[in-house]
Amino acid sequence: MRKCFCVLVLILIFCLSMGDTSVVAKDAEIAPNAAVGLSSGLTLVSGSTYRVWASATAFLPEDVTVGFTLYRVLNGLYIYVTSGSARKYGIYAKAERTVTLSPGSYRLYAWYIGETQSDGINAYYTILL
């Protein structure tokens, strides 16, 4: 019984030593799950001129596409105002446009497309007189 157990252990050791030794190297090359920082804003430039923007920062370099769509909210309806996008390989991309806005409520939707998944974000703004 003891002899049979020793033979099985030796066979197991032999099989393991003949296996693929590159498994560790392959696993070491796999990048960890990264995160993406997505932000957006509506920044007053002067008077009724605003800079609409969205930016994305990835943890690792990748093909980054970021964009936004700005709507005016009027009587519960979303009326398209402007949109923009930017694409870049790296860790940072920013899309922006300058627009003239009248007082009212606005919805800004920012989005990201890339190797790392991220949800879009919605932000609501009210421009007063």
Between 58 and 120, residue with greater pLDDT:
58
What residue has token string 């009326």? 79
Averaged pLDDT for residues 82-107: 94
| Domain 36-127 bears CATH identifier 3.40.50.300 | no
**C-beta of residue 54 within 8 angstroms of C-beta of residue 103:** no
**Residue 125 above 80 pLDDT?**
no
Sign of torsion over alpha carbons 15, 18, 21, 27: negative
pLDDT score for 34: 57
- Domain coordinates in residue numbering, the chain: 36-127
